[in-house]
Amino acid sequence: MLNQNQKPKKKEIKDAPVPKWMVTFADMMTLLLVFFVLILSFSTMEQERYRAISMALQDSFGFQMMNPLNLIPVDNPPRTENIIEPIKPEPPTTEETGSEDQLDAIGNRLETNFTDEIEKGLMIVEQDEDHIIIRFPDDAAFGSASDWLEPQMVPIIQRVGDLISEYEMYVVVGGHTDNVPINTDRYRSNWELSAARATSVAHELTWMSDMNEEYLYVVGNGDARPITTNATPDGRKKNRRVEILLMERDITEEREVFQGIQQVPTYR
């Protein structure tokens, strides 16, 4: 029996209903978790798959304007810093393509580095498919019947030698005279004079450079290879000269060097 002063205990109610706000809160947290997972996965997802999933989510939840995914442009999905950009191949350089061979490179540098000397007539540069000829006229390089270089020519020839030494070339230094015979105490003929002049130029070519003398040839031509007629004073003046003939070593065999000398255009 219960005491009259004792109040009866209330019976505990099991399976009490969950407050409605808890349901909303749980749904919101679940959605936020899904959204964060999706955003993380989009950082490495292809653009087409990203667009498809985004549209599917919008249709499923039915609140496109409130969907946080709309804040992310479909055409520009987020990227993370650890995504490596594809390496774009660089255009090949001149050396890799071989578009400018050694002869072209030397010819361009001669025209650029010796502009003043060429304009003053101290040297002449000619080029064809197989050769480069650097010509030093007699009146600029030597005195009459002498093999001593004029002082103004020494630094020029040394600079030419320094430039040539950077390339793999056969170098043929050839001396030439007119057809007027000479017979002096020093030279018995034009052969000796032309050879001595070519030797003087060869010495200056190698004096200040690292030119490989194994591929250097010195030739005395005398009056055998004129470039114009010897019948006039002006023609004889042009025929008196020293020439540097350049041929690429990698495409020229040593036995072809002397054939190359014969291929140089001359007056006949």
Task: Give DSSP secondary structure letters for 175-224.
Answer: EE--S-----SS-SSHHHHHHHHHHHHHHHHHHSS---GGGEEEEE-TTS
Q: Is the pLDDT of residue 80 over 70?
A: no
Q: Say which amino acid occupies 193.
A: L
- pLDDT at position 211, please? 92
Measure the CA–CA gap between 154 and 45, rounded to whole angstroms: 70
- pLDDT at position 183, please? 86
pLDDT band at residue 83, thresholds of 50, 70 and 90?
very low
Condensed to tens digits (0 to 9), the pLDDT of residues 9-54 reads 555 555 667 777 777 888 888 888 888 887 877 665 566 666 677 6
- Tell me if 173 sits within 8 A of 218, measured CB to CB: yes
What does pLDDT average to over the chain? Answer: 79
Condensed to tens digits (0 to 9), the pLDDT of residues 203-218 reads 999 988 999 999 999 9
Q: Is the pLDDT of residue 242 over 90?
A: yes
Q: Could you tell me the two tokens for 14?
A: 């099991």
- Tell me if 127 sits within 8 A of 103, measured CB to CB: yes
